[in-house]
Amino acid sequence: MAHLDSNLAPLIASAARHLRNARGVVTVGDLLRMRPTRYLSYDSEVTELRDGEFVVLIGTIKSAHTRSMSTRKGSMLTAVLTDGHQDVDMTFFNARAHENKLLPGVRVIAGGQVGTYNHRRQLAHPGYTLLDEAAEAALPGLYPVYPAIPKLHNWNLVQAVGLVLDALGPLPDPLPAPLRSRHRLPGLGETLRMLHRPETRAEVARARERLRYEEALVLQTVLAQRRVQRAQEEAALAIAEGGPLLTAFTDRLPFTLTAGQEQVAGEIAADLASTVPMNRLLQGEVGSGKTVLALRAMLSAVDGGAQAALLAPTEVLATQHHRSITAMLGDLAEGGLLGGSEIGTRVVLLTGSQGSASRRRALADVVSGDAGIVIGTHALLQENVAFYNLGLVVVDEQHRFGVEQRDVLRGKASGTPHLLVMTATPIPRTIAMTVFGDMETSTLTELPAGRSPIQTFVVDEHRPGWLERTWARIGEECRAGRQAYVVCPRIGPGASGGESGGESGGDEEGEVDWFSDGFGQGEQAPARPEMIGVLETFEELSTEASLAGLRIGLLHGKLPTEEKDAVMRAFAAGELDVLVATTVIEVGVDVPNATVMVVRDADRFGVSQLHQLRGRVGRGGHPGLCLLATRAADGPAGERLTAVAATTDGFELAQLDLRQRREGDILGARQSGGRGRLQFLSLAHDEETIATARADAAELIAQDPDLSGHPELAGVIEEWLRREQADFLEKT
């Protein structure tokens, strides 16, 4: 009798080889978890199908003729199949193999791709099975169609699955019985039967529902176990709130925290006060006041005798954080310096391109503990960076840092440091529960008072005069004393892949998505025009009459760091009116006087990314304006832009973004069909299932932390983790 982990090869010989080669399907369980993409009934109207579509018919052979062929050896058989309603030709080039079976009067079930020959619909080399009465009575009500596998006809696959199902012994069910009955889900054996041999569409739906839940439960149980394990790692330094540095900072803060900030500050303080290391995701739109909260946490750490590290995704952002944090702290950031505050600490910056003298000084401050707050890029992860006593790690814009990198930084602490991850990319709930499912989350939903709403419009560049009007609008705004951004998806013509800021997410050009992989899936029209770059736009604007006399700057990731820094500083100081930039300005850049943004070739950016970008304007008291210029206003890309223009709700847009992606991209896994990780669960659509499974998993792990009472579930999880590891190895 076969089990789910039985090898397929002895059961289905040659099919097993193709399945393994194409999909990595090796065991019975692998095969039975292949998801039919659709199901056919047997009554298709063949004339209504397109060539190449798969069809299954049950009928009687009406006539059969063999004739020799002029162009090749052998003979050809044409058998006419009738289902009582329509006639279809079945043709075979090796007549000998079939002419003794396909005799007039026999009943068959046949399936294959529809083609056209001499104006007649035909099935060339279809699969078929002769039917006796009993066999016909045993046919499933619907016929499954599986994802295409090279060299393996769907017909043979269905037969292979049938053989395997028939050989199957009783199946242990990974779903605990109480959960199964709570949610009224079918058992595994029944589920697999309904998936592969359904009588009705309702059975298919029931099977899928059960398998969706099972996937969600496995995923959530893994995460629940991780959370419990982390809580058991005693390690972190317990940091009490209300030390002198934090108090002094609070006293001099020129504003009061919003209610939302207060609440999140409380959540963070409670985490820090525990020896269970904090693992918290703080999400909130750009400008919602995350950095202030992170700084409070860092000051608490310093008060508690530890150091805090802030990791930023780019040098521009690290530098900006360093500047703004130093400014916010004032003399509190001059600890140990003459004239500095008694209770103050030192804030140092560590980046890759920093000069060796200043780097050496910074490293010394970090290792001696004189620097309480260390801000940097990936450079912080390097081996030669040693901390005196690292107690808190803040990561700004999580998506740029992998789990492994975070672990490196954790490894630099004697215990496990507390971890706070900040992201301005709104994260749909399903993603928060899965990709970030082992973290606690805090969300800032309101912006501090005094922010003006951003208005967004789509500018169709093909309409005469629209782009000129756009530049004129910038001119007006700048002459009124405001500033403007012009964002392009890449640096310039001839720039190699890595240099483009838009689609390929160059090294230094911030890419916003937490599961980045380009955007606009499936819309990649082959003949898209080349993307507009900042270099050409900069030239264009320099001679643009409506901008005459304005000071225009240029910023992109390939500029030397000092130059980038100088440009950014000049723009922040109001010494530049217009900044032409790649997405390097995307995350965290804060120039309150900037009120207009033009995005060129806006269709080349993802929905969330555009939302992120426009968060750069309207940060001061003046209303913000965002103009999405595009040469693709018609079609799906244009619709996406219209959606961005229609709402300022980042969560709504993130949800839209999510719907447009394939699940595999989201989990970062390469979906490889039969062995892919999520076959049934959709992160875009199954929020309720995920939430239910999350609660169930927490309950389960609380009662049975090592799953010793649930060996089947434990087995499935072990398999899952093994694959996750394999995926990871594949990626690196």
Binding site for ligand ADP (CB under 6 A): 255, 257-258, 261, 284, 286-292, 424, 448
Indicate the residue among 78 and 423 with the shorter CB distance to Mg ion: 423
The reply on whether position 344 binds Mg ion by CB under 5 A is: no
Chosen from ligand ADP, Mg ion, none, partner binding at 261 (C-beta under 5 to 8 Å by type): ligand ADP
Indicate the residue among 284 and 624 with the shorter CB distance to ligand ADP: 284
- Among 511, 471, 457, 454, CA closest to 628: 457
Indicate the residue among 90 and 424 with the shorter CB distance to ligand ADP: 424
Q: Which residues contact 640 (CB under 8 A, 6 or more apart)?
A: 520, 603, 607, 656, 660
Alpha-carbon distance 218 to 138, whole Å? 34
Phi-psi domain of 151 (left: phi exceeds 0; alpha: psi -120 through 50; beta: other):
left
The reply on whether position 291 binds Mg ion by CB under 5 A is: yes
Evaluate whether 372 touches 347 at the Cβ level (below 8 Å).
Answer: yes
Chosen from Mg ion, ligand ADP, none, partner binding at 287 (C-beta under 5 to 8 Å by type): ligand ADP
Helix pair 201-232, 711-731: axis angle to 10 deg: 80
- Among 81, 94, 93, 83, CA closest to 120: 81
Chosen from Mg ion, ligand ADP, none, partner binding at 713 (C-beta under 5 to 8 Å by type): none
Select from 35-43, 211-219, 284-292, 458-466 the region that touches Mg ion (CB under 5 A). Answer: 284-292
> CB of residue 454 vs ligand ADP: minimum separation in angstroms?
14
CB atoms closer than 10 angstroms to residue 160: 22
Chosen from ligand ADP, Mg ion, none, partner binding at 300 (C-beta under 5 to 8 Å by type): none
Chosen from Mg ion, ligand ADP, none, partner binding at 448 (C-beta under 5 to 8 Å by type): ligand ADP
Q: DSSP readout, 58-111? A: EEEEEEEEEEE-SSSSSEEEEEEEE-SS-EEEEEES-HHHHTTTS-TT-EEEEE
Q: Which residues contact 248 (CB under 8 A, 6 or more apart)?
A: 332, 341, 343
> CB of residue 620 vs Mg ion: minimum separation in angstroms?
15
The reply on whether position 648 binds Mg ion by CB under 5 A is: no
Chosen from ligand ADP, Mg ion, none, partner binding at 257 (C-beta under 5 to 8 Å by type): ligand ADP
> CB of residue 303 vs ligand ADP: minimum separation in angstroms?
20
> CB of residue 456 vs ligand ADP: minimum separation in angstroms?
19
Query: How far is the CA of 324 from the CAs of 343, 373, 564, in angstroms?
Result: 20, 13, 17
> CB of residue 259 vs ligand ADP: minimum separation in angstroms?
9
- Among 660, 656, 596, CA closest to 629: 596
The reply on whether position 489 binds Mg ion by CB under 5 A is: no
> CB of residue 567 vs Mg ion: minimum separation in angstroms?
20
Return the amino acid letter for 358.
S
Indicate the residue among 175 and 294 with the shorter CB distance to Mg ion: 294
Pairing of strands 454-460, 307-311: unpaired
> CB of residue 589 vs Mg ion: minimum separation in angstroms?
9
Chosen from ligand ADP, Mg ion, none, partner binding at 111 (C-beta under 5 to 8 Å by type): none
Alpha-carbon distance 635 to 509, whole Å? 28
> CB of residue 432 vs ligand ADP: minimum separation in angstroms?
17
Chosen from Mg ion, ligand ADP, none, partner binding at 292 (C-beta under 5 to 8 Å by type): ligand ADP
- Among 44, 93, 88, CA closest to 108: 88
Return the amino acid letter for 551.
R
> CB of residue 614 vs ligand ADP: minimum separation in angstroms?
14
The reply on whether position 221 binds Mg ion by CB under 5 A is: no
> CB of residue 588 vs Mg ion: minimum separation in angstroms?
4
Return the amino acid letter for 346.
R
> CB of residue 346 vs ligand ADP: minimum separation in angstroms?
21
Task: Give 542's Cβ-side CA count (13 Å radius).
Answer: 9
Chosen from Mg ion, ligand ADP, none, partner binding at 284 (C-beta under 5 to 8 Å by type): ligand ADP
Burial of 48 (0-12, 13-18, 19+ CB in 10 A): exposed
- Among 575, 633, 638, 587, CA closest to 614: 587
Indicate the residue among 91 and 326 with the shorter CB distance to ligand ADP: 326
Alpha-carbon distance 239 to 275, whole Å? 8
DSSP state at residue 481: T
Indicate the residue among 291 and 608 with the shorter CB distance to Mg ion: 291
Indicate the residue among 289 and 606 with the shorter CB distance to ligand ADP: 289
> CB of residue 257 vs ligand ADP: minimum separation in angstroms?
5
User: How many residues of this chain interact with Mg ion, rule: CB under 5 A?
Assistant: 2
Q: DSSP readout, 150-164? A: TTB-HHHHHHHHHHH
Chosen from ligand ADP, Mg ion, none, partner binding at 650 (C-beta under 5 to 8 Å by type): none
Phi, psi of 91 (to 5 degrees): -120, 145
Site for Mg ion in 561-590 (CB under 5 A): 588
Indicate the residue among 608 and 630 with the shorter CB distance to Mg ion: 608
Indicate the residue among 6 and 283 with the shorter CB distance to ligand ADP: 283
The reply on whether position 608 binds Mg ion by CB under 5 A is: no
Classified as helix, coil or strand, 460 is strand
Tokens of 446: 């309101």
Indicate the residue among 227 and 616 with the shorter CB distance to Mg ion: 616
Indicate the residue among 276 and 282 with the shorter CB distance to ligand ADP: 282
Place of tokens 């991209």: 665
Chosen from ligand ADP, Mg ion, none, partner binding at 288 (C-beta under 5 to 8 Å by type): ligand ADP
Indicate the residue among 292 and 617 with the shorter CB distance to ligand ADP: 292
Alpha-carbon distance 99 to 87, whole Å? 18
- Among 550, 562, 549, CA closest to 486: 550
CA dihedral of residues 92, 94, 100, 101 (deg, nearest 10): -40
Chosen from Mg ion, ligand ADP, none, partner binding at 557 (C-beta under 5 to 8 Å by type): none
The reply on whether position 492 binds Mg ion by CB under 5 A is: no
> CB of residue 293 vs Mg ion: minimum separation in angstroms?
10
> CB of residue 588 vs ligand ADP: minimum separation in angstroms?
6
Select from 198-206, 287-295, 336-344, 496-504 the region that touches Mg ion (CB under 5 A). Answer: 287-295
The reply on whether position 456 binds Mg ion by CB under 5 A is: no
Indicate the residue among 258 and 443 with the shorter CB distance to ligand ADP: 258
> CB of residue 624 vs ligand ADP: minimum separation in angstroms?
14
Helix pair 290-303, 315-329: axis angle to 10 deg: 70
Chosen from ligand ADP, Mg ion, none, partner binding at 8 (C-beta under 5 to 8 Å by type): none
Q: What is the CA radius of gyration of the chain?
A: 31
The reply on whether position 655 binds Mg ion by CB under 5 A is: no
Indicate the residue among 321 and 631 with the shorter CB distance to Mg ion: 321
Select from 26-34, 285-293, 322-330, 523-531 the region that touches Mg ion (CB under 5 A). Answer: 285-293
Residues forming the site for Mg ion (CB under 5 A): 291, 588
